[in-house]
Amino acid sequence: MATGAGALWCQFGVINLEGAAIAEQAGLPVVVDRCVKIEHARYAGRMHWLGFNTQRITSVRSGLQ
């Protein structure tokens, strides 16, 4: 079944080796056990070497109630 997906991304704690193998055989890039938010911070250069964010990438909305 074709889904039109461009990749298979499995979040932290999600490790499915069988699914990853199937996706790789179909030619899809596969990312396993990673967090989109953290990887984005690393890519953008906002991740501190201790693992916390030096700027603010969060789902918490400050000042809004």
Examine the pLDDT at 48 and tell me if it is beyond 50.
Answer: yes
b/e map 8-43, b = 16+ CB within 10 Å: bbbeeeeeeeeebeebeeeeeebebeeeeeeeebee
The model's pLDDT over 7-47, given as tens digits with 9 standing for 90+, comes to: 999 998 899 999 999 999 999 999 998 888 778 777 776 66
Considering the entire predicted model, what is its pTM? 0.57
Structural domains in the chain?
A: 7-60 (3.40.50.720)
